[in-house]
Structure 1
Amino acid sequence: MQTQPVSQTRSFTTVFLIEMWERFGFYGMQVLMVTFMMKKLGFIDTKANLVWGAAAALIYATPAIGGWVGDKLLGTRRTMLIGAVVLAVGYAMLWIPSNNAYVTYLSLGVIVVGNGFFKPNAGNLVRKIYEGDETQIDSAFTMYYMAVNIGSMISMTATPWIRNYIGEQFGDDLGWHTAFGVCSIGLVLGLINFSLMKRTLSHIGSPSDDQPVSLKRAAAVALVSLATVFIAAFILQSETIAEWCVYTAGVVILGIFVHLIRGSRSNERAGLTAALVLTVQTIFFFIFYAQMATSLNLFAQRNVDLSFSVFGIHLFNWIPEQYQNLNSIWIVLLSPVLVFIYNSLGKLGKDPSIAAKFAWGFAAVALGFFMYGFGASWAVNGQVSSWIMVWGYGLYSLGELLVSGLGLAMIARYVPDRMGGFMMGAYYVAVGISQYLGSVVANIAHIPDNITDPLQSLSIYTHLFNILGFVGIGCTAIAVGILPLMNKLSASHSDPATNYHPLPAVRSEEFNTP
């Protein structure tokens, strides 16, 4: 009996769901981590910001290696699955009821390794599913990005509530660690679901997926991974070492791009150059993005009225960390709208370039930070309305979808297939660099221990947010200014006379929103 081919939508759904559960774990942990470091490990805000910034940088940097492991050693599907298992172990380690800083560093080290294996290979599978149709790649990665935010939306609501509820019933320490444990449980559920659906990906992957696993290669990967856990923990203990590692990584990534562009085929050079320019823009965007877990999180702790009211009628209160969830809620609401717009414009042949979408994204982010900054004008007793946070996050999230949501699509569109996994990883290294830089920027809003007046802390935070708003305007102007160059590079990359696409285009009707 002939096996019926698996639809692209079913294959996409399998990756979509494992990504959703993986992000459930990651963001459930992230939403609490800076506050945990301050309240349970005794860090001041600047140290907590920098330790998390360094951890985030490492979490985003290791995919450069994980993508290569998936492409060349273990296979894309296998490496993604290994990453999910390692991540579940990392979150389970945070479940251990210990407030020892080194246990936290080791747990974050395991998470660093797991994310390195998972993230680039999950993205690379989506790229392979829709390879050959540029309009559908944009839509697919926008929906894929929505998966990230469905998972995070659930966990960023749940874990702060679980921490408070369990803490009130059984003690504060147990509340914190149970909340982290839920992140591990969620990923285990995702792995069970993946095992039931993995057949839909049997035809998608790298050549290594179709070959037996070499025990020598597997052992080498395991040893390097174990060493990486301890190296990461060591780096997190020292702000100086973390800083040097981040800046060195930036130089290395730039060197790799330059080397690949110089050594590439003539028909690949324009696409790689476009990818480099957009990657640099992405670094600037993620400096803004890093504020969510740092300055915006701490702003909600000190200077936001936690009550949601409409026309004077009280609806409910939120826990301060839950305001980070507004980002995910807006992403889930806006993603289908943008997919519809992309598909509609694509059918008319008027889909804006990724470079144009990046420019619009920076403009939205700038307006979002001005919303936070100028919201102080309506503050009462040093506290801004929760609705200011809602609309600020709405603009911020629209910008994120237009920039970060299409960052992976940019790699898929402009980077040759033979470099796909590695360049997906290199993109994440760039994101990691900006995560650390974002924590450095967040420390502009350091609140000394002797400041307890909310009016003073409000002034410090809004000063930072207004600075970020003006920087966002500058990024928008630069993005608009280089549009002619980007359009030229994109046209050269797409020119059939100089570029060869070996795969047939995907019919637009084959993509259905899952």
Structure 2
Amino acid sequence: MKTPSQPRAIYYIVAIQIWEYFSFYGMRALLILYLTHQLGFDDSHAISLFSAYASLVYVTPILGGWLADRLLGNRTAVIAGALLMTLGHVVLGFESDSIWSLYLALAIIICGYGLFKSNISCLLGELYAADDPRRDGGFSLLYAAGNVGSIAAPIACGLTAQWYGWHIGFALAGIGMFIGLLIFLSGHRHFSHTRGIDKQALCAVKFVLPTWGWLVVMLCVAPVFFTLLLENNGAGYLLAIVCLFAAQMVARIMVSSPQHRRALWQIVLLMLTGTLFWVLAQQGGSSISLFIDNFVSRRLLNIEVPTALFQSVNAVAVMAGGVVLAWLIRPEGKTRSVLRVWLKFAFGLLMMGCGFMLLALNARHGTVDGHASMGLMVGGLALMGFAELFIDPVAMAQITRLNMPGVTGMLTGIYMLATGAVANWLAGLVAQQTTESHISETAIAAYQHFFSQMGEWTIGCVAVIVLLVIAARLLFSPPVPCLHESRGD
């Protein structure tokens, strides 16, 4: 039986996702190296700023989801977010090593990411009916195809930064985002059935100004606010406040929608498990990147491979594995669907744990030979990349499957908050275990211990999840009728 083709609009969504990944991961691959090499930050300071920025990037999707649900619609929010991210990368591209310029650029990107990230997934969700069997395949395709950008970005931006300077590398990331926006706008006719701007709500006057006026004020104030927050290392305080607010929002949704309560609890548990996964995965941009820069032998055919290029490895694994999974996925019945979701999560965590154990082996190799192996490094990063396919696409599909008008964007934003903001902030705290004041045998031993610890804890969590799934299967599966053999008299 032939699998139904995806909606035409998905290809324009995939295109802008590719270029958004290009801009975001191109800058991400350079950021911590720029802080340590160009601005002279020590490892601890660089990790703190990197994790604060990465955390705040995922705080704003809650507000972006709310604005899309109530006022802008998903498509308009995506366009506005892409414009802001382009502007932020342009500011990073200016030839200046001013800390204030850096903070302002990061703040603008944070605002743009808030409007873009959760709403691109919700826009994709609008293309399908609640029971459309193509939904899971569409999300896997989006997630995998987007990684084309994250494969190309570290290579293009990393080599550009090495040949022409850091700021040209950052500017290239912004150019990519703008290209993606132009492609997306060219396909506007395919989104005519999606929800648009609520003009009546935007023109309604509240507290002297119309709503659109308050949006303009917020657009001007928000970058200044986040600039000050980055300068004063206040991300953790804002995150705590936002998490309390998000918990209250989830509680209100549960109270007002008792028919969805069981599904909402499942999503909450997926958020918590996904947070654990991303605390580990986000080490790639900080502690793992610094390990590669300091300890991995990067000579290949008498050429030194830039550290930034290693950020492409897990993206290659995501893309290759995602294409295969999107092709293999078939419509699933309702029987034990919850158990399938948790088994996918457990498998993703298992791959992540194995990846860290391989990095630990590599660090041990480095303590003996004086430098770690590039091959083992690539293998570990590939396992971690493959693991991602069993986490976010599964969770996003579950959230959009709820089909709850007015709250889907907020729930997606809250998922981003947990697995992005909270995970990145915690990842920064965890990565501090690896910092040393100078490069030494003690430093590489700290990495070995750190990687081993992460792998052991993750595999332990997998065992707990599998045991719970088995217990749930035994306790809640319908009893199998017994067949009694007939007896002779």
**Contact 2:239/2:422 (CA < 8 Å) preserved in 1?**
yes
Q: For 1:350 and 1:407, locate their aligned partners in 2 and report how far apart those are by CA, in whole Å.
A: 16
Which residue number in structure 2 is paired with residue 295 of structure 1? Answer: 287
Q: How does 1:424-443 map to 2 (within 5 A)?
A: 424-430=412-418, 431-443=420-432
Q: Mean alpha-carbon deviation: is it higher for 33-42 or for 275-284?
A: 33-42
- Counterpart contact for 1:66–1:120, Cα < 8 Å: yes
Aligned counterparts of 2:327 and 2:335: Cα–Cα separation in 1? 14
Note the C-alpha offset of 1:26. 0.7
Q: Cα distance, 1:348 vs. partner?
A: 12
The alignment status of 1:224 with 2:218, answered yes or no, reads: yes
Question: CA, structure 1 residues 348+63, in 2 after alignment: closer, same or farther (shift >3 Å)?
Answer: closer
Match of 2:462 in 1: 476
CA-to-partner distance for each residue in 1:421-447, whole Å, 9 max, x for gaps? 111111111121111110110111002
Partner of 1:446: 435
Q: Give TM-score, length-normalised by structure 1.
A: 0.85
Unaligned segments of structure 1, at least 5 residues: 1-6, 167-174, 309-313, 492-514
SS of equivalent to 2:391? helix
Residue of structure 2 equivalent to 1:505? none
Tell me, in whole angstroms, the C-alpha distance in 1 between the residues paired with 2:256 and 2:324: 37
Q: 1:40 to 1:259 in 2, by over 3 A?
A: same
Alpha-carbon displacement from aligned partner over 1:70-115 (angstroms, at most 9, x marks no partner): 1111221111101101110010000111111111111111001101
Q: Is the 8 A contact 2:434 2:447 kept in 1?
A: yes
Distance 1:393 1:326 in 2: 6
1:453-492 to structure 2, matched below 5 A, reads 453=440, 455-483=441-469
Match of 1:148 in 2: 146
Q: Residue 248 of structure 1 corresponds to which residue in structure 2?
A: 241
1:383 and 1:296 map into 2 onto residues whose CA distance is: 14
Question: Which of 228, 243, 260 matches 2:253?
Answer: 260
Of 364, 386, 393, 2:374 maps to 386
Give the corresponding residue for 2:271.
Answer: 279
Structure 1 residues 220 and 210: CA distance shift in structure 2, 3 A:
closer
Paired letter, 1:109: A
Contact preservation (8 Å) 1:355, 1:486: no
Partner Cα distance (2:439, 2:372) in 1: 16
Q: Count how many residue pairs are aligned between Structure 1 and Structure 2.
A: 466
- C-alpha offsets along residues 202-237 of structure 1, whole Å, 9 cap, x if unaligned? 21235x368796393322112112211111111111
Q: 1:58 aligns with which of 56, 59, 75?
A: 56
Deviations 1:54-84 (A, max 9, x none): 1111111101010111111122111110110
> The residue matched to 1:129 in structure 2 has which SS?
coil
1:305-384 superposed matches below 5 A: 305-308=297-300, 314=301, 317-343=304-330, 346=332, 353-379=340-366, 381-384=369-372
Alignment of 1:405 with 2:393, yes or no, is yes
Q: Residue 350 of structure 2 contacts residue 459 of structure 2 at CA under 8 Å; is this kept in 1? A: yes
Matched position secondary structure for 1:417:
coil
Question: Do the aligned partners of residues 466 and 129 (structure 1) sit closer, same or farther apart at CA in structure 2, a change above 3 Å counting?
Answer: same
The alpha-carbon deviation at position 349 of structure 1 amounts to 8.1
Q: Secondary structure at the match of 1:200?
A: helix
User: CA 1:211 to 1:390, structure 2 compared with 1: closer, same or farther past 3 Å?
Assistant: farther
CA gap of 1:41–1:129, structure 2 versus 1, over 3 A, is: same
Q: Does the CA-based 8 Å contact 2:74-2:122 persist in structure 1?
A: yes
Contact kept? 2:59, 2:239, Cα under 8 Å: no
Q: Give the alignment's Cα RMSD to 1 decimal.
A: 2.6
Name the larger-Rg structure.
2
TM-score by length of structure 2 reads 0.89
**Matched residue SS, 2:439:** coil
Could you tell me whether the CA contact under 8 Å between 1:76 and 1:209 is conserved in 2?
no
Write out per-residue CA displacement over residues 21-63 of structure 1, whole angstroms, 9 at most, x where no aligned residue: 1111111111111111122222211111111111111111101
Distance in 1, matches of 2:468 and 2:219, equals 40
Task: Flag structure 2 segments of 5+ consecutive residues without an equivalent.
Answer: 205-209, 478-489
3-state SS in 2 of match to 1:9: coil
Task: Tell me how far apart the structure 1 counterparts of residues 232 and 181 of structure 2 sit (CA, whole Å).
Answer: 34
Query: Which residue of 2 is the match for residue 23 of structure 1?
Result: 21
The answer on whether the counterparts of 2:6 and 2:134 sit within 8 Å (CA) in structure 1 is no
1:10 alignment partner AA: R
Quote the Cα distance in structure 2 between the aligned partners of 1:452 and 1:75: 50
1:132 aligned partner: 130
